[in-house]
Structure 1
């Protein structure tokens, strides 16, 4: 977001430099800059001295950032990505693949999750797993912020076991948004999950 800020500021400086009201705000363009996506340092050391934003706007952004770091977001309070991140949209594409440089960063037997083979798996090979506790998980890292609204996954279905689970997404690996919560359900085999578009 800081790069977008610099682009807008440079454009403003170039076109308004020789005009009498050189810092006259051009609200339509400036409003597209999302201050809440910037770091505290960027807001206080760079944006603050640009004169493109009122000090109250900067303080409001800092307040939102501070509040969100202390807020646990889940599906029960109907809040999705409060920060309104920017993300890449690929229509009707499976972006959790090696083709799109997705990686499994948490979980056992990581190489099996994104290999595309949904037929050849047994107790020894072909699937990714994790210990069932409050610490371990399976985490997939996409190649960059992406807009998603559907996840399709295959739970172990070679016997009668069923599983409960939840899915969370994050852009910064700090604030996590719970988009699926099936902790109270017993699930097996294919899971086709739909939710409101969100950046992950």
Structure 2
């Protein structure tokens, strides 16, 4: 066989292959690939029914790649370090999600809308909570993933509107927009639609 070198690389001899009752391409592939640690955020991003732009911004936030003011200053870009949302604290990824009083209020209302009663954690703690409690394929987990991505996206969008266009939206408007968009996207999947019908469309 011309492919015997690949079998040997996977730890399977040609004799074992010919004499064995079954052969699994999947197992051979996994042996050739080797062992890699699973990315904890994969469920948050890969199994997310939200808009692609939500997921993209969520991805950048997870890996700290958004151009927040603390990063701009590190790049020697002269700018006001104050958060444009609360106008009180230095802007950073950790501050925006969700220690800023404005985004804290938005995320708290989104959680309450889902029926989740808990305190708002730091960014790293929020990711760990999501990875632990919202990794399943049930409707509640899928809607949570959408809600988190939507909240991150609209937080970043509102931040940019205030920086570049000097326009502001209230927290009530932001919450309403996020929830209505989740309803619009979630209605496409029957089990999510059933769960969303149990929640308010207008918070």
TM-score (norm: length of structure 1)? 0.24
Structure with the higher fraction of residues in strand conformation: 1
Structure with the higher fraction of residues in helix conformation: 2
TM-score (norm: length of structure 2)? 0.23
